[in-house]
């Protein structure tokens, strides 16, 4: 795979900075979603309470993944400054522009990401 051109790197850097400003807001929203509820045990029926518990669980896991993403964004911005952005942290091969464009904060190439997800199963 090709190394990134300067223009591609600049473009991805812009995406990362946008994510860095937007993700904390998304995390706040997800936290609010995970926090609300409790109240209303009488007025909310049993079924909708189950829905609510499920919704809350989803909001919590959504927040967790957003927090992980924000950490990755910050780590990626640090590698940009060091000049080794876009290099897979596992195999040290270039990650590739198409993948970075879709997920500029990813620390791994597609192969290594896939391998990690396989071992988790
Ligand atoms: Zn890799």
77 neighbors 46 (Cβ within 8 angstroms): no
Domain 6-120 has CATH 1.20.120.910: yes
Per-residue pLDDT of 65-117, as tens digits, reads 999 999 999 999 999 999 999 999 999 999 999 999 999 999 999 999 998 88
User: Would you kindly state where each structural domain of the chain is located, as residue ranges?
Assistant: 6-120
Q: Residue 53 Cα, ligand 1 centroid: separation in angstroms?
A: 38
pLDDT of amino acid 104: 97
The separation between CA 41 and the C-alpha centre of its own chain, rounded to angstroms, equals: 34
Q: Residue 114 Cα, ligand 1 centroid: separation in angstroms?
A: 9
**Is residue 47's pLDDT more than 60?**
yes
Q: Residue 109 Cα, ligand 1 centroid: separation in angstroms?
A: 4
């Amino acid at each position: 795979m090709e190394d990134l051109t300067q223009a591609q790197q600049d473009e991805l850097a812009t995406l990362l900075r946008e994510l860095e400003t937007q993700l904390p807001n998304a995390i706040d929203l997800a936290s609010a979603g995970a926090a609300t509820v409790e109240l209303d045990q009488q007025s909310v029926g049993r079924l909708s309470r189950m829905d609510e518990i499920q919704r809350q669980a989803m909001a919590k896991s959504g927040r967790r993944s957003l927090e992980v993403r924000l950490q990755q964004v910050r780590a990626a911005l640090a590698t940009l400054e060091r000049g080794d952005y876009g290099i897979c942290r596992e195999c040290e091969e270039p990650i590739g522009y198409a993948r970075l464009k879709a997920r500029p904060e990813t620390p791994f190439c597609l192969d290594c990401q896939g391998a990690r997800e396989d071992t988790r199963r």
